[in-house]
Chain A
Amino acid sequence: DQQVKQNSPSLSVQEGRISILNCDYTNSMFDYFLWYKKYPAEGPTFLISISSIKDKNEDGRFTVFLNKSAKHLSLHIVPSQPGDSAVYFCAARGVTGNQFYFGTGTSLTVIP
């Protein structure tokens, strides 16, 4: 059973515009949510995270929003740059601290 879902396998955005990547989860006991960025043939890179007690976390061009009632989080990238083109994974941490559940990824393409 997929506890973390990314329903959009791909997204294309014009350079300079906003990219919005979405993620849904089913388990209300997750305590942290994370976004990772992955280039082909490389390991994922940690991007940004948010605690379940917050609804927004911002780091430069990246902002993550958490809507606990909807069990939904999103990653906003503004402005989008061609170097942002990669696969983005959202992940949720279980309360034991050692279980992480990953979504299937969204491939973002930023068009120059």
Chain B
Amino acid sequence: GAVVSQHPSWVICKSGTSVKIECRSLDFQATTMFWYRQFPKQSLMLMATSNEGSKATYEQGVEKDKFLINHASLTLSTLTVTSAHPEDSSFYICSAKGTARYEQYFGPGTRLTVT
């Protein structure tokens, strides 16, 4: 149980375009979802926390207008990278947490490459 999927697993886009990444909890209801970013050889950096039906809470230094997060249902959250630039190239990972459990379950990650 506790499977989280992400789509796409890898995306290449041109600079200036927008990219949407989906995160789904497949077998549980995720009241809270988290979005992380990982740079090569670095730790996970929490970008934002979202609760179903409410606005996401962004970490300091993360541009909310650039990284749009929507958590419209208990099984789906989306991260849209708007007007992507090469410096946005990174590995984006989502995680989900239900009310019944205390641990987060992570998705497999999405590799974004902006050319």
Contacts and interface: CB of A to CB of B under 8 A. Distances in A.
A44 B97 contact: no
Contacts of B4: 43
Interface string A88-112: 0101010001111011110000000
Contacts of A104: 42-43
B93 interface: yes
B72 interface: no
Contacts of A100: 34, 46, 104
Nearest to B107: A43
Interface residues of B, number: 25
Nearest to A93: B102
A44 B93 contact: yes
A41 interface: yes
Contacts of A59: none
Contacts, number: 51
Contact of A36 (B34, B49, B106): B106
Contact of A32 (B44, B51, B102, B106): B102
Nearest to A36: B106
Given A89-B44, A98-B97, A105-B43, A41 B91 contact: yes
Interface residues of A, number: 21
Given A32-B102, A49-B102, A49-B103, A43 B93 contact: yes
Interface of A: 32, 34, 36, 41-46, 49, 89, 91, 93, 97-100, 102-105
Contacts of B44: 44, 89, 102
Contacts of B105: 46
B102 A43 contact: no
Nearest to B102: A32
A35 B2 CA distance: 16
Which 9 pairs, one residue from A and one from B, show the smallest C-beta to C-beta distance?
A43-B106, A104-B43, A44-B106, A43-B109, A43-B108, A43-B93, A43-B107, A32-B102, A98-B32
Contacts of A49: 102-103
Given A49-B102, A100-B104, A43 B95 contact: yes
